[in-house]
A and B are shown apart, each in its own frame.
Chain A
Amino acid sequence: MIRPPNRRALLMGASATAAAAMLGGCDRLGEMGWFKRTLATGEDANKFVQRLLLTERTLTPEYAEADISPFFKPNGTEDPPDKAYKAMVRRKFAGFQLEVGGLVEKPFKISLADLRKLPVRTQITRHDCVEGWSCIGKWTGVPLSELLQRAVLKPSARYVVFHCADTMDQGEASNIDATGGAEAPVANPNPNMTKKVAGSESVKGAGDPPDGALAEDAGPPEPVRFYESIDLVDTYHPQTILAYEMNGKTLPVAHGAPLRLRLERNLGYKQAKYVMRIEVVESFTDIGEGKGGYWEDQGYAWYGGI
């Protein structure tokens, strides 16, 4: 005699299948453009509401010396592969000059020694990584507002873009700048490797380039240099500094020597390391993939407040 299938086993099997189908369905939904944009409204709301709650001067809590983490986890790029950068390290950034330009009345370059003569701010703050961990460190540097006041913004200025020394993605970097030197190689048609290359424009015309499709069409991904952007609210925040010291010592390579952005009130991925050049822009849509930063181009929210 054949026993009728066990009701409980049947039910369990059915629920497991339904659950698997639902999870698969959610994965597929999550890849659709319209659904991604819908989900992203949650992160837009984060920005909207948090900006309402914060005034331009609301400070993030600062900590005591005793709170400083004995080990501060370096993340992202820890040792840029770029030859030009390595050469700078060898020379202890002797010839390095930070460039400030874009939509400003008085673009300028400034050496590390001269940066150190500008007003200083030291702050002990907590660094929160988007992955979930936190460390506390002491940062000393020049408030970003000091630099931009000297440069004098043009009325159309909206964002400040940080162009960095580290090449991301498949690090073909060492072949690119064969000769060392603090200056970006002039011969390269795409000196900061953050501007869109002419060929990649075609994809853009088709509306939202679906993530992934871009890489497939274009063959191996173009090496890109790290970049980030912030708006003027964060730019003029008193705790927004370009740090050249960490825990009382010269900023180490693992943490972004010679200069890194400290953007307290934001997650770590916004806080660009290895800053070489500051560009003031009206819009960042034609930089990189147009989302405002290297991580943003990988799908992270432009606003990193939570």
Chain B
Amino acid sequence: MPRTYLTRSAPDVGEIEHRRWMFRHPLVIRITHWVNALCLLVLLMSGLQIFNAHPALYWGKVSTFDTPLMSMASSEDDPPKGVTTILGHAFDTTGFLGSSAGADGQPADRGFPSWLTLPSEQDLTGGRSWHFFFAWAFVLNGFTYLLYGLLSGQLRFRLIPSRDQIRHFGASIQEHLTLRFPQGDEAKRYNVIQKLTYVAVILVLLPVQVLAGLAMSPAMDAAAPFLLTMFGGRQSARTVHFVVANLLVLFVVVHVALVLLSGVWNNIRGMVTGWFVIERKVEPTPSPEPTGRSA
């Protein structure tokens, strides 16, 4: 399609064309999005490497070694079994958690398997180097995003639900559950559930993750003792850090699934070039099933 046809989020000219191009994602948002994706992947995998150095979680100030909230270990059996214990309940997780194949193919005593950790072999120092380098990249990238988003008004436009969206909250949930994605004008902005999820991730989970990471630092605990109060102790902070990492994985899984379901290439093109196609909202021929919403 020749570029002259592209409209740049122009004021609405009515639903004439079938597909309308919209410039959806400014450069700063696109760059910070992909840098963030890379950082989260590296932080997750190097984090699991660090976790493997002592694959057990506790609550409170200190480790109560006999009573972890969760732990992974390999059993004395031959071949060893991987056993994951959560709140006192033991699960056989052989091959995945507790015991999985090492580089030589033999069962190795490790929390998460080598294909989930960075570096793949047991290497705490390597994992820490990766983790801290990418933690800085992640934080600087996040500040860039927030600063740009605040100054340009993008943050408010993209993330804060408008009044009418809040009014139609119920209907949005229904649409979401039936995997009907908004079209036409409604597709130009994020829907209300999307917005609230992004707010929760960007303004709650990610900052909590950074604070929990810092709360595990003995030096930071001296500089900012409120970190310990906030999480209820260093070991709680470590557990929160682990749980939030898992919530972020959950978010990414759903996020990617929805991208796949709502038009992979359009979404990916959107986040790479900025240009996104809006499908026409109403078919010219009246459909037997009206797409109108009920509240």
Report the Cα distance A298→B129, complex, angstroms.
13
A265 and B222 in contact, given A39-B130, A73-B65 (Cβ under 8 angstroms): yes
Interface-lining segment among B17-25, B117-125, B150-158: B117-125
B54 within 8 A of A: yes
Report the Cα distance A61→B220, complex, angstroms.
11
B265 within 8 A of A: no
Which residues in A have their C-beta under 8 angstroms from that of B197? none
With CB as the reference atom, state the residue of chain B lying closest to A54: B223
Range of interface residues on B (Cβ < 8 Å): 35 or more
Cross-chain contact A126 with B234 (CB below 8 angstroms): yes
One of A45, A50, A61 near B225 (C-beta < 8 A): A61
With CB as the reference atom, state the residue of chain A lying closest to B219: A305
Cross-chain contact A27 with B61 (CB below 8 angstroms): no
Given A27-B119, A67-B61, 18 more pairs with CB closer than 8 A: A23-B115, A27-B118, A38-B133, A39-B132, A40-B133, A41-B133, A42-B135, A46-B132, A58-B223, A59-B222, A126-B62, A130-B53, A130-B124, A133-B63, A133-B235, A134-B234, A298-B125, A299-B126
Report the Cα distance A227→B131, complex, angstroms.
26
| Nearest CB in chain A: distance from B234 CB, A | 5
Cross-chain contact B134 with A73 (CB below 8 angstroms): no
30 inter-chain pairs at a CB distance below 8 angstroms, sorted by A residue, are A20-B115, A26-B119, A27-B118, A27-B119, A27-B121, A30-B119, A39-B132, A40-B133, A41-B133, A42-B131, A43-B132, A46-B132, A50-B220, A54-B222, A63-B61, A73-B65, A126-B218, A128-B216, A130-B128, A132-B50, A133-B58, A133-B63, A134-B61, A134-B234, A135-B62, A264-B218, A266-B219, A267-B218, A300-B128, A305-B218
- Mask of B217-247 contacts with A, CB within 8 angstroms, 1/0: 1111111110010000011001000000000
Report the Cα distance A255→B71, complex, angstroms.
25
Which residues in A have their C-beta under 8 angstroms from that of B234? 126, 128, 134
Which residues in A have their C-beta under 8 angstroms from that of B133? 38-43
Seen from chain A, the residues whose Cβ lies within 8 Å of a Cβ on chain B are 19-20, 23-24, 26-27, 30, 36, 38-43, 45-46, 50, 53-54, 58-61, 63, 67, 69, 71, 73, 126, 128-136, 264-267, 298-301, 305-306
Secondary structure of the B contact surface, majority rule: helix
| Nearest CB in chain B: distance from A176 CB, A | 28
Cross-chain contact A43 with B50 (CB below 8 angstroms): no
Report the Cα distance A20→B113, complex, angstroms.
13
Cross-chain contact A136 with B61 (CB below 8 angstroms): yes
B136 within 8 A of A: yes
8 Å CB interface, B17-75 against A = 50-51, 53-54, 56, 58, 61-63, 65
A27 and B63 in contact, given A130-B53, A132-B53 (Cβ under 8 angstroms): no
One of A41, A59, A132 near B51 (C-beta < 8 A): A132
Cross-chain contact B130 with A30 (CB below 8 angstroms): yes
Report the Cα distance A71→B218, complex, angstroms.
20
Which residues in B have their C-beta under 8 angstroms from that of A130? 53, 124, 128
Which residues in B have their C-beta under 8 angstroms from that of A20? 115
Cross-chain contact B228 with A61 (CB below 8 angstroms): yes
With CB as the reference atom, state the residue of chain A lying closest to B116: A23
Cross-chain contact B218 with A301 (CB below 8 angstroms): no
Report the Cα distance A227→B224, complex, angstroms.
30
Cross-chain contact A305 with B217 (CB below 8 angstroms): yes
Cross-chain contact A264 with B128 (CB below 8 angstroms): no
Seen from chain B, the residues whose Cβ lies within 8 Å of a Cβ on chain A are 50-51, 53-54, 56, 58, 61-63, 65, 115, 118-121, 124-126, 128-136, 214, 216-225, 228, 234-235, 238
Cross-chain contact B219 with A54 (CB below 8 angstroms): yes
| Nearest CB in chain B: distance from A279 CB, A | 25
Which residues in A have their C-beta under 8 angstroms from that of B56? 133
Cross-chain contact A61 with B222 (CB below 8 angstroms): yes
With CB as the reference atom, state the residue of chain B lying closest to A71: B65
Cross-chain contact B222 with A264 (CB below 8 angstroms): yes
Which residues in A have their C-beta under 8 angstroms from that of B50? 132
Report the Cα distance A105→B210, complex, angstroms.
46
| Nearest CB in chain B: distance from A261 CB, A | 14
Report the Cα distance A132→B47, complex, angstroms.
11
| Nearest CB in chain B: distance from A127 CB, A | 9
Which residues in B have their C-beta under 8 angstroms from that of A26? 118-119
With CB as the reference atom, state the residue of chain A lying closest to B103: A27
Cross-chain contact B62 with A134 (CB below 8 angstroms): yes
| Nearest CB in chain B: distance from A140 CB, A | 20
Report the Cα distance A59→B51, complex, angstroms.
28
Cross-chain contact B65 with A23 (CB below 8 angstroms): no
Cross-chain contact B217 with A50 (CB below 8 angstroms): yes
Report the Cα distance A26→B128, complex, angstroms.
14
Report the Cα distance A39→B128, complex, angstroms.
9
Report the Cα distance A26→B126, complex, angstroms.
11
Report the Cα distance A43→B130, complex, angstroms.
9
Most buried by B among A19, A41, A301, A306: A306
Report the Cα distance A265→B218, complex, angstroms.
5
With CB as the reference atom, state the residue of chain A lying closest to B121: A27
With CB as the reference atom, state the residue of chain A lying closest to B133: A42
Report the Cα distance A40→B118, complex, angstroms.
15
Report the Cα distance A277→B238, complex, angstroms.
36
